[in-house]
Amino acid sequence: MLYTEPKVTVLARPQFAEPAHLPVAWKGESSDGERLAEFAGRLCYMSQHNPAGRTTAEYLENIKRQRHGSVLEHANYTLLFEGVSRSLTHELVRHRAGMAYSQLSQRYVDESEASFVVPPAIVGDAELEGAWRAQVEAAQAAYVALVEQLMDRYRWVDDKVHRRKMAREAARGVLPNSTETKIVVTGNARAWRTLLELRSSEGAELEIRRLAVLAIRVLQGEAPAFFSDVEVYDAADRRPAARFLHSKV
């Protein structure tokens, strides 16, 4: 299978349980994650009575404007990314603060029928796609052959699970960066903002930029007040990018 677009699925979102003895005078519609962040911010000043009469969206807009982003760290969102390349995840996992990752292991998972991600730069060009496809198909065939040969070479290893792991971990060296992978990513709202601001900019690598724009749209649906200052637009290269009004919250 060849992927030309990633897939993003929400796996987990915050669940806020307001303490009965510290009720907030809420205004406007909001998600649990947004209310959690507002509650945390109001606790700092014991302003639960909401003296300014702000909606949650207005309160969080002021938080972003003032760059008091620490209260956003209480709200965590977990996303599943599929249809992304191992080249992309090599970049993604550089973002450590406030993030957690669990990725498909090539040592344990058979890649004999692995999928691949077509690099965005060549999508739609039949000649380039053909040349690229020939290379990944050859690499996959080499992987299958190596696994078989290595399983035979280490036939003296009685534990078949360990033998398969030995074979796959060696054979994976011939697979390209375009090999499709799946990864579960958890981050707090502040960490997501930082990651997505960097990776959705015009200077970001095209595949991770495409994923970042999609993740922005998904998270805007989950918690619009956290990402209300983000604008997705068509960049000079005719591909979507995003800009954050309140940078480095």
Q: Which amino acid is at 87?
A: S
Instruction: Give the integer Cα–Cα distance in Å for 174 and 137.
Output: 11
Q: How far is CA 61 from the centre of its chain?
A: 24
Instruction: Give the integer Cα–Cα distance in Å for 91 and 65.
Output: 29
Structure tokens belonging to residue 188: 């707090």
Instruction: Give the integer Cα–Cα distance in Å for 207 and 120.
Output: 6
- pLDDT at res. 43: 98
pLDDT along the chain (249 residues), means of 10: 97 98 98 98 97 97 95 98 98 97 95 96 96 97 97 93 94 97 98 98 97 98 98 96 95
Given the residues 35, 190, 199, 210, the one annotated as active site: 199
Q: Please list the residues that pair with 231 across neighbouring strands.
A: 243
Task: Kindly state the percentage of the chain with pLDDT values over 70.
Answer: 100
Structure tokens belonging to residue 99: 């993030």
- pLDDT at res. 124: 93
- pLDDT at res. 88: 98
Q: pLDDT tens across 107-130, in order? A: 999 999 999 999 999 999 999 999
- pLDDT at res. 240: 97
- pLDDT at res. 23: 97
- pLDDT at res. 18: 98
Instruction: Give the integer Cα–Cα distance in Å for 167 and 155.
Output: 11
Q: Which amino acid is at 213?
A: V
Instruction: Please report the domains of the chain, with CATH numbers, ordered by start residue.
Output: 9-79+182-244 (3.30.1360.170)
Q: Please list the residues that pair with 183 across neighbouring strands.
A: 81, 103
Beta strands 240-244 and 7-12, pairing class:
unpaired
Structure tokens belonging to residue 165: 């792991």
Q: What is the pTM of this model?
A: 0.95
Instruction: Give the integer Cα–Cα distance in Å for 96 and 5.
Output: 25
Instruction: Give the integer Cα–Cα distance in Å for 19 and 34.
Output: 16
Specify whether 199 is catalytic: yes
- pLDDT at res. 53: 97
Structure tokens belonging to residue 95: 């973002």
